[in-house]
């Protein structure tokens, strides 16, 4: 079966779609494949009567590699082009982490392409810890430091999961096994530019111009994008709704999928 690709300007993106009805485009975070949405969110959307479209951002194979100097505006243009090619008009948007950053900026640059938006694990401004985390990730890649698999898996678990999950012995072992099977590839030059796509300036004032109905969805135990930053983002977007998922870390859409899907679908029905 042919792998579906779409050409957006000079970039070729890999995508997948399921279901029919109104389109929902889901934008993944840094280094994440579009298929991560297919574990829980795509089945829920299809069951609710939506057409779910996921894709791999440039830098994530089999989409084109990213080049040095990649910006959020580049990823916004990619997403907008994909929507124009596959949907042909406005649609619902969902993003997590870097994907939410892309959606936020798209709501400003191309509001004509969005009817509703869900921003997960996001923020509207950087702080000392977010800057430090971004710098640490870049240093890890630039030094080509290949961490032992067990260390990489354990660190990722602590950074991205809720303490509630980490206290469940079977759950944490399942997550550690998963992380060990998919280690960070510090040799992937096509992925490295994504690490420069960080929220490095205060965008809260700009986001006060967003007119698209928006749900900001934070995860109570998220150390990468703390819930306080999400609430701040929701307060800046006129009319935005805010919801906080308990017992969830940065990977909350995978960790607490039922609660996330319920919040997302309830908002879409609103």
pLDDT tens digit sequence for 99-132: 999 999 999 999 999 999 999 999 999 999 999 9
**Residue 2 pLDDT grade (very low, low, confident, very high; cuts 50, 70, 90):** low
Classify residue 188: in a domain, yes or no.
yes
Side-chain-side CA neighbours of residue 135 (13 Å): 8
Classify residue 177: in a domain, yes or no.
no
Classify residue 262: in a domain, yes or no.
yes
- Per the CB < 8 A criterion, the answer to whether 126 and 202 are in contact is yes
Strands (E), the chain: 5-8, 11-18, 23-27, 51-55, 91-96, 114-120, 214-219, 241-245
Nearest to 27 by CA among 68, 72, 70: 72
Classify residue 156: in a domain, yes or no.
no
Q: Which comes out higher in pLDDT, residue 2 or 100?
A: 100
- Per the CB < 8 A criterion, the answer to whether 49 and 21 are in contact is yes
pTM for this structure? 0.96
pLDDT tens digit sequence for 26-46: 999 999 999 999 999 999 999
- Check residue 188 and give its pLDDT: 81
Classify residue 159: in a domain, yes or no.
no
Classify residue 173: in a domain, yes or no.
no
Q: Measure the CA–CA gap between 255 and 235, rounded to whole angstroms.
A: 26
Cα distances (angstroms) measured from residue 155 to each of 160, 161, 250: 9, 10, 13
By CB atoms closer than 10 A (0-12, 13-18, 19+), residue 201 is exposed
Cis bond upstream, residue 62 (ω within 30): yes
- Check residue 1 and give its pLDDT: 45
Task: Give just the sign of the alpha carbon dihedral 223, 251, 164, 256.
Answer: positive
Q: Number of structural domains, the chain? A: 1
Classify residue 178: in a domain, yes or no.
no
Q: Is the predicted pLDDT of residue 159 greater than 90, yes or no?
A: yes
Residue 65 CB neighbour total at 10 angstroms: 16
* Alpha-carbon torsion, ordered 187, 166, 33, 114, to 10 deg: -130
| Structural domain of 36 | 5-147+184-269
Strand-pairing partners, residue 52, are 18, 24
Which domain CATH number covers 105? Answer: 3.40.50.1820
Give the 3-state secondary structure of residue 116: strand
Q: Over range 252-262, report the average pLDDT.
A: 97
Q: Over range 155-175, report the average pLDDT.
A: 95
- Per the CB < 8 A criterion, the answer to whether 121 and 97 are in contact is yes
Q: Catalytic site residues?
A: 97, 222, 250
Classify residue 109: in a domain, yes or no.
yes
Contacts of 7 (CB under 8 A, 6+ apart): 13, 85
Q: Measure the CA–CA gap between 136 and 130, rounded to whole angstroms.
A: 10
Q: Measure the CA–CA gap between 176 and 21, rounded to whole angstroms.
A: 37
Nearest to 96 by CA among 71, 126, 118: 118
């Amino acid at each position: 079966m042919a792998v579906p690709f779409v050409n957006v300007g000079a970039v070729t993106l890999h995508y997948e779609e399921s279901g029919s009805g109104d389109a929902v485009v889901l934008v993944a975070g840094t280094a994440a494949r579009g298929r991560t949405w297919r574990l829980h969110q795509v089945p829920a959307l299809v069951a609710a009567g939506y057409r779910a479209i996921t894709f791999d951002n440039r830098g994530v194979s089999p989409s084109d590699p990213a080049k040095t100097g990649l910006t959020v505006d580049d990823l916004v243009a990619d997403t907008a082009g994909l929507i124009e090619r596959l949907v042909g008009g406005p649609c619902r948007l969902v993003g997590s982490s870097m994907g939410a950053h892309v959606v936020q900026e798209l709501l400003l640059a191309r509001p004509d392409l969005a009817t509703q938006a869900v921003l997960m694990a996001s923020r509207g401004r950087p702080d000392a810890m977010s800057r430090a985390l971004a710098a640490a990730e870049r240093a890890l890649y630039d030094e080509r430091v290949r961490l032992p698999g067990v260390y990489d898996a354990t660190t990722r678990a602590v950074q991205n999961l809720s303490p509630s999950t980490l206290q469940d012995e079977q759950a944490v072992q399942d997550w550690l096994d998963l992380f060990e099977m998919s280690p960070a590839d510090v040799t992937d030059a096509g992925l490295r530019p994504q690490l420069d796509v960080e929220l490095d300036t205060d965008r809260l004032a700009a986001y006060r111009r967003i007119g698209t109905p928006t749900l900001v969805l934070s995860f109570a135990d998220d150390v990468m994008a703390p819930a306080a930053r999400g609430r701040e983002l929701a307060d800046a977007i006129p009319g935005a709704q805010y919801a906080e998922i308990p017992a969830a870390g940065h990977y909350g859409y995978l960790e607490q999928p039922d609660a996330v899907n319920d919040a997302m679908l309830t908002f879409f029905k609103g």
